[in-house]
Structure 1
Amino acid sequence: MYKNRLGVMGLFSFLMLFSIVSTSHAELWELVIDVNVEKGAIYSGDSVIITGKVVDQAYKPIGGAEVFIKAGSYTTKAFTDPWGVFRGEIKDFERIPGTYIVNVVGSWYGMTGLSSAKFQVKGEASPVSALQEKLSTDEARKYLSSNESDFEKNPIGQTLFKYYRGLLDELILEQKIATEPSEEKIHVEQQRLIAENLRNQAIDKFKPGAGTYEGFQYNYYINGLDPKIKDLVISQLNFTKNNFEEAQKIRNEILANGGTYEEARQAYLDKISIPKEILEEFNQEKINQESEESPDENQPSEEDSENQ
């Protein structure tokens, strides 16, 4: 009795071992594929470069093998060279940030191999883009283009139909919220309009003009200058005055045409910012002009020539 039981257990163990070996052999691919993603992290819209090598179980390179590469809904095809090496490129991989898997299937005269690798798309995923990604699949389009009555006798179909309809409602709500201005933006815009109105009122009331380039203080300052540099200083002040007038004109035109206050302010500052090189060039031109207009002290005047 004991021997019979031992024999039965031995036979059972043998069958189990045979079953495990048979199953493992069935899952063993004829081709071995080594896959590598050239850049482990990319930005949405970049190309994904996949390289690798196809060999047999003896690690002998397989040349001429067809390699099918798939990442999400993106696919491409490549062939191995005589050394078993392949290179494929998925162009413009536009997906929301996250981790993705690229699957590679190689085939050669009835032999097949499968391998995969991971890569990341950098960035932060927004709820809207995540919902758009889920609703862009073929399955989602299938259920969104159907009626609930089409799945009366299909409980799984009804569940998926409600699931994708729910995602669509979420997307519509998210897009509505995204297009509505926030309370902070509304407050900032209101404050900007108030400040702009106060500024215009002050201009109308005080009429400041382009600056203090006239009046008693201006004349007092000019008359106190050294006669040798007086004309040059007057020219510089006029040059600056013209710049301010043009800057104010540019700023007002931008605001009148619907531009933002920040855009108008930046244009104003760009105009009145005079590089040192331009100012030195202006001064040199003025000095040269004055030298041409004034007679040379070393040259005798017409009156001196007549006396001689």
Structure 2
Amino acid sequence: MYENRLLGIGLISFLMLFSIISTSYAELWELVIEVNVEKGAIYSGDSVIVTGKVVDQAYKPIRGAEVFIKAGSYTTKAFTDPEGVFKGEIKDFERIPGTYIVNVIGSWYGMTGLSSTEFQVKGDISPVSELQEKLSTDEAIKYLSSDESNFEKNPIGQTLFKYYHKLLEELILEQKIAQKPSEDKIFMEHQRLIAENLRNQAIDEFKPGAGTYDGIQYNDYINNLNPKIKELVINQLNFTKNNFAEAQKIRDDILANGGTYEDARQAYLDRISIPKETLEEFNKEKIDQELEESLENNTTDENSENQ
């Protein structure tokens, strides 16, 4: 009896030792994978760059290991270089804002390793984007592309079929609401059209001229200027006139190409806004030019007198 107990204890000890040796042996050959995402936070639609290194338990680099990279339903594959380093790119990662996990599986001659890390998709979550995310899964696609009769004898399937079709109806409704212009936008557009019509009516009624850049008043103004500054003022007025002409052309081009009134108006204002530094530089150039011309004239006059 005692001998049987000793035999049993010995057998159990041997099995435990064998199990420990086997486990240690398995861990010794398991691949170790270091993984990193180059950008810890991206925007939806950006690429996810995954880098890392594959080594054995002795930290010896594994060359030529196949690396499978998966983030959600997006996958890509890479191979390690002589240093055990790999790099994979998941292009156009279009997902709603949140935290996502990257799983990396490496394999080499029957040995495998697994590692994972996280990254963020930045931005605000809207009801539409949440619904789109739920409906983009393989399970959702399966039930949305099936007929309800396929699940007559499957209560769970019927429930999921109705669930995903209800989400689809919500998505369609949300998209309609999102595309519908707000009351404020409608009001502003209405007011803009009224103002534009009144402006056109006033132009037809009063037929205004070209303003102060030509005509009798312009000529009188120029003729009464101090001769010393007359040329400079004319150049300044022409500079401003050309600015307005270019601004009007920019505005008309934007509207003609389908741009919004607000964009055209902003481009017009940006063009006619002349910084103080620009005007001072323009004045300096003109004064320097006049001085050079004056010096040249004086030199010519002196030469003529000497001759």
TM-score, length basis structure 2: 0.72
Deviation of 1:283 (Å): 6.0
Change over 3 Å in CA distance of 1:36–1:283 after alignment to 2: same
Task: State which drifts further: 58-67 or 100-109.
Answer: 58-67
Shift in CA distance, 287/234, structure 1 to aligned 2, threshold 3 Å: farther
2:137 corresponds in structure 1 to: 137
Deviation at 1:148, TM superposition (A): 0.7
Write out per-residue CA displacement over residues 74-120 of structure 1, whole angstroms, 9 at most, x where no aligned residue.
22223344554433332332322211111122223333332221111
Identical columns (%)? 75
Q: For the structure 1 residues 122 and 298, does the alpha-carbon distance in structure 2 shift closer, same or farther, using more than 3 Å as the test?
A: same
Distance 2:39 2:55 in 1: 23
Say if 1:72 and 1:190 are closer, same or farther in 2 by CA, change over 3 A: same
Deviation at 1:161, TM superposition (A): 0.7
Structure 1 residues 174 and 297 mapped into 2: Cα distance closer, same or farther (>3 Å)? Answer: same
- The offset of 1:253, in angstroms, is 6.6
Report what 1:67 is aligned to.
Answer: 67
Shift in Å, 1:38: 2.8
1:141 Cα shift?
1.7
Letter matched to residue 73 of structure 1: S
- What is the alpha-carbon distance in structure 2 between the residues aligned to residue 107 and residue 206 of structure 1? 84
Consecutive unaligned residues in structure 1, runs of 5 or more: 1-6
Q: Distance in 1 between matches of 2:61 and 2:271?
A: 68
Q: Is the 8 A contact 1:32 1:56 kept in 2?
A: yes
Residue in 2 that maps onto 1:77: 77
Equivalent in the alignment of 1:93: 93
Judge conservation of contact 2:232–2:283 (CA < 8 Å) in 1.
no
Question: How much has 1:195 moved relative to structure 2?
Answer: 2.2
Aligned: 1:123 with 2:104: no
Query: CA-atom RMSD, angstroms?
Result: 4.1
2:180 is aligned to 180
Q: Could you tell me which amino acid in structure 2 is paired with residue 230 of structure 1?
A: K
1:269 aligned partner: 269
Kindly tell me the number of residue pairs found equivalent between the two proteins: 285
Q: Structure 2: any 5+ residue segments left out of the alignment?
A: none
CA deviation after TM superposition for structure 1 residue 159, in Å: 1.3
Residue 197 of structure 1: how far off its partner (Å): 2.4
Q: Which amino acid aligns with 1:71?
A: A
SS of the aligned residue for 2:177 comes to helix
Secondary structure of 1:96's counterpart equals coil
How far apart are the structure 1 equivalents of 2:294 and 2:267? Answer: 34
Counterparts of residues 141-290 of structure 1 (less than 5 Å): 141-213=141-213, 221-234=221-234, 236-237=236-237, 240-241=240-241, 243-244=243-244, 247-248=247-248, 251=251, 259-273=259-273, 275-276=278-279, 277-278=281-282, 280-281=284-285
Q: In the superposition, relative to structure 1, how do residues 112 and 208 fare at CA in structure 2: closer, same or farther (>3 Å)? A: same
Structure 1 CA distance for aligned equivalents of residues 59 and 254 of structure 2: 70
Which moves more between the two structures, 280-289 or 65-74? 280-289
Distance 1:85 1:258 in 2: 51
One-letter code aligned to 1:172: I
Match of 1:50 in 2: 50
Contact (CA 8 Å) 1:64, 1:108: kept in 2 or not? yes
Separation of aligned partners in 2, 1:232 and 1:241? 14
Question: What CA distance in whole angstroms lies between the structure 2 residues aligned with 1:94 and 1:237?
Answer: 53
Displacement after TM superposition at 1:248 (Å) = 4.7
SS of the equivalent of 2:143 reads: helix
Segment of structure 1 superposing worse, 197-206 or 219-228: 219-228
- Could you say which structure has the higher helix fraction? 2
Offset at residue 150 of structure 1 (A): 0.6
The answer to whether the Cα contact below 8 Å between 1:34 and 1:115 also exists between their aligned partners in 2 is yes
Q: 1:102 to 1:252 in 2, by over 3 A?
A: closer
Equivalents in 1 of 2:304, 2:223: separation in Å?
A: 31
Partner of 2:106: 106
Structure number with bigger Rg: 1
